[in-house]
Chain A
């Protein structure tokens, strides 16, 4: 069956845009063929540094004939109106069909050649491709990510009739810039294309490029008793920068190993896109680097390796310049620099932020078991590295460098760890600090940001969260959970509110939302989260414990039945409340009917039990006490008519039903539980 092959050949496409470009190409092709009603088989898209490629299998030669129907005048409308309609639809009276008193014209449309449809689709893809950033070049007006040179565009082994000003269209493409024949090649289908590319030193598929990089890199390392430091993000980028990956293991001057390993790795990665390499035994960084060249040089890469090694030396010399220079200046002295750095126009300088964090870390420390003086000290020094040369060069090393500099000036090990780790956790995959001083500073850092931006009316709205407040809140939540900390969020927010903004309720609601999302993501039932949240607690550990106990309880027959009982109670009370106020006060014990007495007795037993369990946060115990209500509640609703004729009997039964609802309501808001 006919196949369509399209290659958009351009100058080098930024690596970070390639994956998205392949997706967009595939989507646009699917949508376009779908709209045209052209069936197709497999559809694949590829992206690399100089080309986007699309291949669509099993296409028809001609689009199927279609009938479009068009609504006309009503039957019995004036003849002139009908004739006008026929003229505008371009059909004769034979094509009219009557339906529900209205004329419809059946317009026959002959299927177009698919080659034409594909040509139109290609032109529209080129015209509206959603590059994150695009440009014009020369004297043309076409936009592409970088200059677009040519299209290889063949359908059923013939060049498709595409016209794009300034761009060659045909069945030719080019391979690697420097390897192989360096002449254009011809391809009329995907098999020819793929084979020609391989012969011209281009690996089309990014997955294959990655595989070759990893395989080659591992082989080089293993041969020398080394281990590659894997880095998925870097692999993605490097695979987008080469058409013919050629991993090279280069040598680094071992003298640089006295630099912090994070510095060596970051310098390699950010500036040079090298992978770091460590000793297979012991795991320490090895004096080597792994770079992925785009060429297999005749000398086996000796020159390339030496050149790269020299660049790395220059880079690491620069890093050493900062490392040595930075350690000459005490962190405290760097705080002066922060007086000139604005954190946010309405939240003051970084220096003012440091003072807030220092005070807040001290204030939090008793509740997290940290030494207040150490927490304050660490809070004071936490941001000082922002004024250092190394962090100026590598912003991603903030915190890490502060830790090294704090250690170098002899700070307490707990202060060192807190300075280093206070940005943590920086994402869902990051670890959470556990040392109490670190916990205090990490929470102070995040709470100051959160409460500060709430105080100036910059809470996130919709998808807009420019100050990453969601991440900050989630960070605090994870720190609390993973350390089992018993804290009131409202209390923390109050401590952090240096602005007297009174935003605590809003901050609390924001935390509640984040917690719900987190708990939901962990597979907890949405409605149960709501049921527990409705109690207004702000101790996260307690909330989670209650939630787990509730989920376990509802999974039992007692739980499920009691939930039904609760619904019945609520419905009765709601219906009654519409007529007149539900009587308040305690019910009296009546001996008849026995079910009413039994329910009274069961509630009397359960109340102190539940109270005691809740007081000790034994939620499983509280649920067990609730379970004891199941039978009497069921029996009561089965046998006893609440809405009795005698007003005082009815009032007492309503009080009893209220009690059931209230007793359960102390454990969770069952009215929010679905099912």
Chain B
């Protein structure tokens, strides 16, 4: 990292794109359905299942309505950005590749303290878990590194390695800034320079109010139930090649999951109900996972 010329937020993304592109990844666009984490993109959740090799990288805006702070907290956002890499099967030198990617964005591992700290990842709503670490750079968690073991309640083989970089955190680190809204979004030397705040602060303000205070709970609940009913219906429908319509069905799982997050942020989910909601989403996800695996195995 050269203090005089740190990477802007978008240059950080471009560096990671070119790094992972050079290592065989398809560079995808963010999934256009609201999700709480980059893992939920079908390019990770579904592609991690089944026997076919797969390498992909993409940015995913991740929405966490409960974390809304009206743009008033320098570190917490209701929508942040994850840089997601999936390597299936994970190559033996995946840790070395990851460390090289940090060097590519300007973090010199001989000048910083980079550590792999135990963190067993799990996402109960998609029935997924894996073993791995939080990666720390000078005490700051800059990535999540996971070897998937199960997805949608199914054992995976081969195993995918998943990297999730917290882009805002990484940028705060690389730019040496304390407030996320002060991050340089593009080149500070440019006449069209914009900070992160100029791009996203208004989103945080409006969505925080909507998601924490005004979203219509009755509507959310109805929509959730609609999505829940739709999933098995869609899965039972067949495409022209006779396949189950897993991908559209999975979109509806994602929508259900986001609606649940919104209801949760509105405080309308009683503690006792939480587990049951999560279980309902997981069941939907499992149904999609099974259908996807059946499809992949037939194709393979």
Say whether A138 contacts B272, CB under 8 Å: no
Q: Is A299 an interface residue (CB 8 A)?
A: yes
Closest Cβ–Cβ distance, residue A345 to chain B (whole Å): 9
| 25 intermolecular pairs with C-beta atoms under 8 Å apart | A135-B130, A135-B147, A138-B89, A138-B91, A138-B159, A139-B158, A145-B131, A146-B132, A147-B147, A241-B117, A242-B115, A272-B139, A294-B113, A295-B114, A297-B110, A297-B113, A303-B138, A304-B111, A304-B113, A307-B140, A308-B113, A308-B139, A313-B178, A318-B75, A340-B272
Say whether A311 contacts B139, CB under 8 Å: yes
Q: Is A179 an interface residue (CB 8 A)?
A: yes
Closest to B73 in A: A321
* Residues of B contacting A310 in the complex (Cβ-Cβ under 8 angstroms): 140, 176, 178
Which residue, B74, B112, B120, B149, has most C-beta atoms of chain A within 10 A? B112
Q: Is A178 an interface residue (CB 8 A)?
A: yes
Which among B95, B133, B138, B147 is the interface contact of A307 at CB below 8 angstroms?
A: B138
Which among A14, A138, A147, A298 is the interface contact of B111 at CB below 8 angstroms?
A: A298
Q: Is A109 an interface residue (CB 8 A)?
A: no
Closest to B94 in A: A147
Say whether B75 contacts A317, CB under 8 Å: yes
Closest Cβ–Cβ distance, residue B126 to chain A (whole Å): 18
Closest Cβ–Cβ distance, residue A273 to chain B (whole Å): 8
* Residues of B contacting A133 in the complex (Cβ-Cβ under 8 angstroms): 120, 131
Q: Is B270 an interface residue (CB 8 A)?
A: yes
Knowing A135-B147, A342-B272, say if A307 contacts B137 (CB, 8 Å).
Answer: yes
Say whether A303 contacts B131, CB under 8 Å: no
Q: Is B80 an interface residue (CB 8 A)?
A: no
Say whether B75 contacts A14, CB under 8 Å: no
Q: Is B118 an interface residue (CB 8 A)?
A: yes
Q: Give me the interface of A with B, judged by CB distance under 8 Å.
A: 11-12, 14-16, 49, 133, 135-139, 145-147, 149, 166, 177-179, 241-242, 272-274, 291, 293-295, 297-299, 303-304, 306-308, 310-314, 317-318, 321, 340-342
Which among A146, A313, A341 is the interface contact of B131 at CB below 8 angstroms?
A: A146
Q: Is B239 an interface residue (CB 8 A)?
A: no
Closest Cβ–Cβ distance, residue A461 to chain B (whole Å): 26
Say whether B149 contacts A135, CB under 8 Å: yes
Say whether A149 contacts B113, CB under 8 Å: no
Say whether A178 contacts B133, CB under 8 Å: no
Which among A295, A314, A341, A342 is the interface contact of B113 at CB below 8 angstroms?
A: A295
Knowing A14-B118, A135-B131, say if A303 contacts B112 (CB, 8 Å).
Answer: yes
Knowing A146-B131, A304-B112, A307-B137, say if A138 contacts B120 (CB, 8 Å).
Answer: no
Which residue, A138, A145, A317, has most C-beta atoms of chain B within 10 A? A138
Q: Is B243 an interface residue (CB 8 A)?
A: no
Closest Cβ–Cβ distance, residue A241 to chain B (whole Å): 6
In Å, the complex CA distance between A71 and B105 comes to 73
Q: Is B92 an interface residue (CB 8 A)?
A: yes
Q: Is B101 an interface residue (CB 8 A)?
A: no
In Å, the complex CA distance between A12 and B111 comes to 20
Which among A135, A179, A299, A307 is the interface contact of B139 at CB below 8 angstroms?
A: A307
* Residues of A contacting B159 in the complex (Cβ-Cβ under 8 angstroms): 135-139
Which B residues from 90 to 137 make CB contacts under 8 A with A? 90-92, 95, 99, 109-118, 120, 130-133, 137
In Å, the complex CA distance between A308 and B113 comes to 9
Which among B112, B120, B133, B178 is the interface contact of A12 at CB below 8 angstroms?
A: B133
Closest Cβ–Cβ distance, residue A320 to chain B (whole Å): 11
Knowing A136-B149, A311-B138, say if A297 contacts B112 (CB, 8 Å).
Answer: yes
Knowing A136-B149, A177-B109, A241-B117, say if A304 contacts B138 (CB, 8 Å).
Answer: yes
Closest Cβ–Cβ distance, residue A530 to chain B (whole Å): 46
Q: Is B277 an interface residue (CB 8 A)?
A: no
Q: Is B22 an interface residue (CB 8 A)?
A: no
* Residues of A contacting B161 in the complex (Cβ-Cβ under 8 angstroms): 137
Closest Cβ–Cβ distance, residue A276 to chain B (whole Å): 15
Q: Is B173 an interface residue (CB 8 A)?
A: yes
Say whether B92 contacts A149, CB under 8 Å: yes
In Å, the complex CA distance between A297 and B113 comes to 8
Which B residues from 172 to 226 make CB contacts under 8 A with A? 173, 176, 178
Which residue, A14, A145, A299, A306, has most C-beta atoms of chain B within 10 A? A14
Please encode chain B, from 43 to 81, with 1 for each CB lying within 8 Å of some chain A CB and 0 for all others: 000000000000000000000000000000111100000
Q: Is B299 an interface residue (CB 8 A)?
A: no
Q: How many chain B residues touch A (Cβ–Cβ < 8 Å)?
A: 41
Closest Cβ–Cβ distance, residue A612 to chain B (whole Å): 59
Closest Cβ–Cβ distance, residue B40 to chain A (whole Å): 22
Q: Is B271 an interface residue (CB 8 A)?
A: yes
Say whether A178 contacts B147, CB under 8 Å: no
Closest to B95 in A: A11
In Å, the complex CA distance between A317 and B117 comes to 23
* Residues of A contacting B76 in the complex (Cβ-Cβ under 8 angstroms): 318
Please encode chain B, from 259 to 276, with 1 for each CB lying within 8 Å of some chain A CB and 0 for all others: 000000000001110000
Closest to A295 in B: B113
Say whether B116 contacts A11, CB under 8 Å: yes
* Residues of A contacting B91 in the complex (Cβ-Cβ under 8 angstroms): 138
Knowing A133-B131, A146-B131, say if A139 contacts B89 (CB, 8 Å).
Answer: yes
Closest Cβ–Cβ distance, residue A130 to chain B (whole Å): 16
Knowing A135-B147, A178-B114, say if A291 contacts B139 (CB, 8 Å).
Answer: yes
Knowing A12-B116, A15-B118, A139-B89, say if A340 contacts B158 (CB, 8 Å).
Answer: no
Closest to B3 in A: A303
Closest to B130 in A: A135
In Å, the complex CA distance between A119 and B173 comes to 47
Closest Cβ–Cβ distance, residue B73 to chain A (whole Å): 7
The 5 A-B residue pairs with the shortest CB-CB distance, nearest first, are A307-B138, A14-B118, A12-B116, A293-B113, A308-B139
Sample of 20 further A-B pairs with CB below 8 A, known A11-B95, A16-B118, A298-B110: A15-B118, A137-B89, A145-B131, A272-B139, A274-B139, A295-B112, A298-B111, A303-B112, A304-B111, A304-B138, A307-B112, A307-B139, A307-B140, A307-B173, A308-B139, A310-B140, A311-B138, A311-B140, A312-B139, A340-B270
In Å, the complex CA distance between A222 and B176 comes to 30
Closest to B159 in A: A137
Knowing A303-B112, A307-B139, A311-B140, say if A138 contacts B74 (CB, 8 Å).
Answer: no
Closest Cβ–Cβ distance, residue A113 to chain B (whole Å): 31
Say whether B111 contacts A340, CB under 8 Å: no
Which among A145, A146, A241, A314 is the interface contact of B115 at CB below 8 angstroms?
A: A241
* Residues of A contacting B176 in the complex (Cβ-Cβ under 8 angstroms): 310
Knowing A303-B138, A321-B73, say if A341 contacts B110 (CB, 8 Å).
Answer: no
Say whether B137 contacts A295, CB under 8 Å: no
Say whether A341 contacts B139, CB under 8 Å: no
Closest Cβ–Cβ distance, residue A265 to chain B (whole Å): 16
In Å, the complex CA distance between A179 and B111 comes to 10
Say whether A299 contacts B111, CB under 8 Å: yes
In Å, the complex CA distance between A375 and B272 comes to 30
In Å, the complex CA distance between A135 and B161 comes to 12
* Residues of A contacting B137 in the complex (Cβ-Cβ under 8 angstroms): 307
Closest to B72 in A: A321
Say whether A314 contacts B178, CB under 8 Å: yes
* Residues of A contacting B117 in the complex (Cβ-Cβ under 8 angstroms): 12, 241, 273
In Å, the complex CA distance between A145 and B116 comes to 14
* Residues of B contacting A137 in the complex (Cβ-Cβ under 8 angstroms): 89-90, 147, 159, 161
* Residues of B contacting A303 in the complex (Cβ-Cβ under 8 angstroms): 111-112, 138
Knowing A135-B147, A138-B159, A294-B115, say if A178 contacts B109 (CB, 8 Å).
Answer: yes
Closest to A167 in B: B92
Say whether A178 contacts B178, CB under 8 Å: no
In Å, the complex CA distance between A294 and B5 comes to 27
Say whether B112 contacts A341, CB under 8 Å: no
Closest to B137 in A: A307
Closest Cβ–Cβ distance, residue A659 to chain B (whole Å): 64
* Residues of A contacting B139 in the complex (Cβ-Cβ under 8 angstroms): 272, 274, 291, 307-308, 311-312
* Residues of B contacting A272 in the complex (Cβ-Cβ under 8 angstroms): 139
Closest to B51 in A: A139
* Residues of B contacting A138 in the complex (Cβ-Cβ under 8 angstroms): 89-92, 158-159
Closest Cβ–Cβ distance, residue B77 to chain A (whole Å): 13
